[in-house]
Amino acid sequence: MKSKARLMQGNEACVEGAIAAGMKFFAGYPITPSTEIAEIAAEKLPRVGGKFIQMEDEIASMAAVIGASLTGSKSMTATSGPGFSLKQENIGYAALAEVPCVVVDVQRSGPSTGLPTSPAQGDIMQARWGTHGDHPVIALTPSSVRETFDLTIRAFNLSEKYRVPVILLMDEIIGHMRERVELPDAFEIEIVNRKKPTVGRDQYLPYKADEDLIPPMANYGEGYRFHVTGLAHDETGFPTNSPAMADKLYRRLMDKIEMHKDDIIQWEEENTDDADVVIVSIGGVSRAADTAMKQLREKGYKVGTFRPITVWPFPEKRLLELASKVKTFVVAEMNLGQIALEVERIIKDKAELKKVNKVNGEAIYPEEIIARIEEVL
Amino acid sequence: MNNNETVTDKLVVNENWCKGCGICVKFCPKNVLKVENEKVKVIDIDKCIQCGLCELRCPDFAIYVRGK
Amino acid sequence: MPSALVNEYFRTNKLPQIWCPGCGHGIITRAITAAIDKLGLERDKICIVSGIGCSSRAPGYMDFDTLHTTHGRAIAFATGVKMANPDLKVIVITGDGDATAIGGNHLIHACRRNIDITTIVFNNNIYGMTGGQYSPTTPKFDKGTTAPYGNIDKAFDIPALAAAAGATYVGRSTAYHTQLLISLIENGIKNEGFSLIEALSVCPTYYGRKNKKGSAVDMLEWQKDHAVNISAASKMTPESLEGKFLIGEFKNSPEPEYTSEYQKIIDRLCKE
Ligand SMILES: Cc1ncc(C[n+]2csc(CCOP(=O)(O)OP(=O)(O)O)c2C)c(N)n1
Ligand code: SF4
Ligand code: SF4
Ligand code: SF4
């Protein structure tokens, strides 16, 4: 059999994954290091009957993606730090109005224009709290080209299932890395579609959730004639000033993710069984963490790795379990300590926390992690 | 909710929706209407020619011509 | 029972609207449904999109698929709706601030693309919802809460802006000139491309009060007395046009429509 393996860039794998997931609409605005995603989407989407549009800015891109999703099209946008900031208001809109969509952020160095072509992981907290108010969010982080493909599909599936914006938090290392990958056939891929109403227009309450806390979603143009707003609303979808209704809505939005955490959260760990030290990292840094771990193991040190695949919600339960047996967590990240903040919150004083941080636009090298661990051991 | 409705042969007025702005009164060519206690009132229905100008410009859809 | 038109096209259980007594926005909203009614459009294939502002509350009362978005972004949301499902007739309701301040960039780019969206700008020359601050269409030297000494900004001529940016159907009417407004909206919806109709509204509560323009009735009378239809204007002397403003159909020049052009690309590629 002919090998289906292909040399592919992370950004390309993202588009391949999106199309495999059923993406039919992409709106974007060019920005390094995410631009290839827009370029490849522009080329591929019309070939599968989908639509691409280059909007006038990232605010418009996010808006168009939400509009398209309301007609039933699976929709995505891609950007990097500065553009991710511009999208935030409408990401909040998607969270409140429960419109499924995927937002790719290929992180670069910042704040502001920063080091445009250099890798960073400075948007961890922006992904969580970038828009105002309490809101649900799911953010996934791939650490290889193949995983970018898989997680893009998963991002669509989760957004459809839970009616939330899902953020694919990549970094420049993964976005621009080329790897030989073999993509699965369509029949091997699990595709999830949003839950549709089973009642007619007269009975349809667009924001009445089922027991799973997720309301079925009609498409515009199907005759439901429903209202969608960014104002606090009741089950009918119309604005409400009732404190009780507003409270119910906001809490349900958070609870719908909380309730399904076990379905959503993923992580990967290696050699944690006997580990004294566990390196915590995501995305591109996890590759250096892996190398560091292996080299230290060869030297006889008991080192393991822990890699959150869903950064949000964070794999809290598992990390806490590990904290009871691990002496030290070393959090390595290309920022000044954002994941470390979350790890610290979870482990409290159950284990020691050490950090490896880098914000100069260079990747974190295995030697830097090793050096830090050797200080501890 | 719509119990405060005045129905004549020519016009229907919904007092619940009327905000008493007086737009219909001013632009009625036949002086059929007036505003009293912040609500529109039909004062001379005989003169109404059912031109529909009141309906066209009422911002609150509180007045309309019947059978048209 | 409300009128047949209102009963047919409005969510009557949401009425009366939150708007102030005499607010012109209600007149314009009704005019939009009158135009839709005249065109006999398929009800379930209409999507009405708005931003944030008093004007942008209109779709909540209208019985269609309706989308109340973020401030200034209605046209961008509408672009996504239309691109993803070109079978939908997409109508945008927006205010002067919503459309030309925070949303100005989206407006000119939608004009440029000539995407089939009909945009009705409810222009009341002020920010109503936030309490009377000056907007990009507040006339020079008029007052707003943020222009206590008179506004020194020059006002946008919205139809001229839209026409220059590439909209293929452009017109202006007023809340007073309701019949003309209905026919412009009708033609705008019929135009396969980006249409912009400026509907001059009245805000007695803020613009009116701040600038001593009297009641809603007085403000509509002012519209009546100062508007000149463009078809009549050509026969008038410059002196008689002094202090007047134009209404009517300003531009009607169809060009290829954006989503149709994109569909051509899809069709070509799918044949390969
Ligand atoms: C991003 C953002 N900035 C500011 C506001 C506050 N705001 C709400 S409506 C509005 C102005 C509305 O004016 P206009 O569009 O002219 O509509 P009108 O209320 O006059 O009908 C502003 C500034 C907001 N909601 N969102
Ligand atoms: S229909 Fe015409 S004449 Fe009759 S009340 Fe209305 S505006 Fe006056
Ligand atoms: S125009 Fe409408 S709201 Fe105003 S007074 Fe007449 S009926 Fe009442
Ligand atoms: S503030 Fe002005 S624009 Fe807003 S509802 Fe009142 S009159 Fe209308």
Q: Which domains does chain C show, CATH number per domain?
A: 3-271 (3.40.50.970)
Q: State in Å: Cα C97 to ligand 3 middle.
A: 27
Taking the Cβ of residue C217 and every Cβ of chain B, the question of whether any pair is shorter than 8 Å is answered with: yes
Q: State in Å: Cα C76 to ligand 2 middle.
A: 41
Instruction: Give the integer Cα–Cα distance in Å for A245 and A174.
Output: 43
Contact C16 B56 (CB under 8 A): no
Contact B60 C175 (CB under 8 A): no
Chain C residues close to A224, C-beta within 8 Å: 65
**At a CB cut-off of 8 Å and minimum separation 6, what does C132 contact?**
C126, C144, C145, C205, C206, C207, C209, C210
Chain C residues close to B2, C-beta within 8 Å: 1-2
Nearest chain A residue to C272, by CA: A47
For residue A312, give the 3-state DSSP assignment: strand
pLDDT at position A377 is 82
For residue A229, give the 3-state DSSP assignment: strand
Q: Which ligand is nearest to the CA of C55?
A: 1
Chain B residues close to C3, C-beta within 8 Å: 12, 55, 61, 64-65
Nearest to C117 by CA among C65, C48, C28: C48
Size of interface B-C (CB pairs under 8 A): 75
Contact B56 C1 (CB under 8 A): no
**Kind plus residue range of the DSSP H or E element containing C227:** strand C227-229
Nearest to C57 by CA among C42, C74, C80, C34: C74
Question: Shortest Cα distance from B49 to chain C (angstroms)?
Answer: 17
**At a CB cut-off of 8 Å and minimum separation 6, what does C141 contact?**
C150, C151, C152
Q: List the structure tokens of A178.
A: 């080329």
Please name each of the domains of chain A with its CATH number: 6-188 (3.40.50.970), 268-376 (3.40.50.920)
Instruction: Give the integer Cα–Cα distance in Å for A235 and A214.
Output: 12
pLDDT at position B1 is 45
pLDDT at position C270 is 87
Residue-wise pLDDT tens digits, A261-320: 999 999 999 999 999 999 999 999 999 999 999 999 999 999 999 999 999 999 999 999
- Chain B neighbours (≥3 Cβ pairs under 8 A) are C
DSSP state of C208: I
Task: Assess whether the C-beta atom of B40 lies below 6 angstroms from ligand 2.
Answer: no
State the pairing for strand pair C65-68/C117-123.
Answer: unpaired
Higher pLDDT, C265 or B5: C265
pLDDT at position A3 is 63
Helices C258-271 & C74-84 angle (0-180, nearest 10): 30
Q: What is the phi/psi pair of residue A50, to 5°?
A: -90, 180
Instruction: Give the integer Cα–Cα distance in Å for C191 and C209.
Output: 38
AA identity, residue C250: F
Residue-wise pLDDT tens digits, C226-260: 999 999 999 999 999 999 999 999 999 999 999 99
Interface probe for C, chosen from B23, B39, B50, B64 (most Cβ of C below 10 Å), is B23
Chain A residues close to C83, C-beta within 8 Å: 25, 27, 51, 53, 64, 68
Mean pLDDT of C118-126: 98
Q: pTM for this structure?
A: 0.98
Q: List the structure tokens of B68.
A: 């048209």
Taking the Cβ of residue C105 and every Cβ of chain B, the question of whether any pair is shorter than 8 Å is answered with: no
Residue-wise pLDDT tens digits, A108-126: 988 999 999 999 999 999 9
Contact B19 C22 (CB under 8 A): yes
Contact A225 C44 (CB under 8 A): yes
pLDDT tier at B3 (50, 70, 90 boundaries)?
A: low
H-assigned helices in chain A: 10-21, 35-44, 58-70, 81-97, 124-129, 145-162, 172-176, 243-258, 261-264, 285-298, 316-323, 339-347, 366-376
AA identity, residue A227: H
Low-confidence ranges of chain A (pLDDT < 50): 1
Mean pLDDT of C173-188: 98
Instruction: Give the integer Cα–Cα distance in Å for B58 and A200.
Output: 34
Chain B residues close to C217, C-beta within 8 Å: 21-23, 25-26
Instruction: Give the integer Cα–Cα distance in Å for C11 and C6.
Output: 8
DSSP state of C126: S
- Taking domain B5-65, whether its CATH number is 2.30.33.40 is answered by no
pLDDT at position C1 is 85
- The backbone region for A45, taken as left when phi is positive above 0, alpha when psi lies in -120 to 50, beta otherwise, is alpha
**At a CB cut-off of 8 Å and minimum separation 6, what does C160 contact?**
C250
pLDDT at position A4 is 79
pLDDT at position C272 is 78
Higher pLDDT, C178 or B4: C178
